[in-house]
Amino acid sequence: MFTEGGWRGPSFCEAATSASGRGEHRAEGVCSRLREAARRRGRPSLKGKRKRGSASVPERELGRMKTSAELHEQEKPPSSPRATGPGRLGHARGRGPDALRGGAAGPGRASSGAPRERKMAPHGPGSLTTLVPWAAALLLALGVERALALPEICTQCPGSVQNLSKVALYCKTTRELMLHARCCLNQKGTILGLDLQNCSLEDPGPNFHQAHTTVIIDLQANPLKGDLANTFRGFTQLQTLILPQDVNCPGGINAWNTITSYIDNQICQGQKNLCNNTGDPEMCPENGSCVPDGPGLLQCVCADGFHGYKCMRQGSFSLLMFFGILGSTTLSVSILLWATQRRKAKTS
């Protein structure tokens, strides 16, 4: 009647009582005790279904008979939510929803079938912190690129503009101007001030014409040599020029409103327009006009529709005719040279 795995259900009890009269009362007593124990636990004795999330495992039908030790263990309260019956059906049902997916329940998860929480990647404000280094690197790269894009004349002399220089005062007192290296620039990058004092310059250098838009230039404390008359050609906006004490202002007194000499420098202020001061009306041709070209310099510009020597030719310059004549002449000379050189190569 009794086996290791349990008892075998009502069919086994009926077969046992019919086979032996002596064990009839004994078998019926065992069956009644089992049914009573099943009722006390709140589950049907024959065909019970456990609720979802329950820690105990129901039996679909009364199967094998259980020993008294197993019955005693079943009457004890379950020690954990994962306690299940010893049968194969109990082990399969104790897994909860994972059993349907073919996976066993994890060690930290209850067998009640609670849904698994999924952790999503952070997409909140915390993810913006990763953009800060990239933004800083971009701003740094733009700053470096701006520094590299400065005109060469601004970095010709090492160091920066001194705080007490006239160029620095002009740049700080004028709105929307900023100091970069030796230059004072506006928002568009145009040079309006240049400070090359104490740079050991004998001449301003080939890049000096990059500063033809300047309003103020400081060249004091430099061993400048030679005549600076043609050095400032095209500097029509220049209003203040600071030179060493032994260097004359370009154009002389006729080109400047005031020239002031000090112990260590000489300041030329207020560039004059020689076209307004000259008394020679025939300086420019009839079809031309006078325009200033820097301190002490001027030039004649042809009026619209005139060109050539003394602006005597009327109409626009014919580029097609010019390049046509030049190209045909070059081609003819090239063919002639090729023929003569080839003849000399054959005779030799």
What pLDDT sits at residue 262? 94
Region label for 233, one of left (φ > 0), alpha (ψ between -120 and 50) or beta (otherwise): beta
What pLDDT sits at residue 279? 55
Q: Of residues 36 and 193, which shows the higher confidence score?
A: 193
Show the CA angle centred on residue 321, arms to residues 315 and 323, nearest 5°.
125
In whole angstroms, what is the distance from residue 165 CA to residue 154 CA?
16
Mean pLDDT value across residues 111-131:
54
Q: Of residues 302 and 146, which shows the higher confidence score?
A: 302
Q: Residues 25-32: contacts with CB within 8 Å, 24+ apart?
A: 27/1, 30/1, 30/65
pLDDT over 60 (residue 161): yes
In whole angstroms, what is the distance from residue 14 CA to residue 330 CA?
128
The H or E element spanning position 243 is strand 240-244
Q: Which of 42, 48, 52 is nearest to 61 (CA)?
A: 48
Is residue 90 classed as helix, strand or coil in its secondary structure?
A: helix
Size (the chain), residues: 348
Show the CA angle centred on residue 275, arms to residues 273 and 277, nearest 5°.
75
Q: Of residues 135 and 245, which shows the higher confidence score?
A: 245
Is residue 308 classed as helix, strand or coil in its secondary structure?
A: coil
Q: What percent of the chain clears pLDDT 90, i.e. is strictly above it? A: 37
Tokens 């349907």 belong to residue: 100
pLDDT in tens, 1-50: 444 444 444 555 555 445 444 445 555 676 677 777 767 766 544 444 44
Tokens 């190569």 belong to residue: 345
pLDDT over 80 (residue 88): no
Note if the pTM is more than 0.85: no
Phi, psi of 148 (to 5 degrees): -70, -25
Give the end-to-end CA distance of the chain in Å, rounded to a whole number: 131
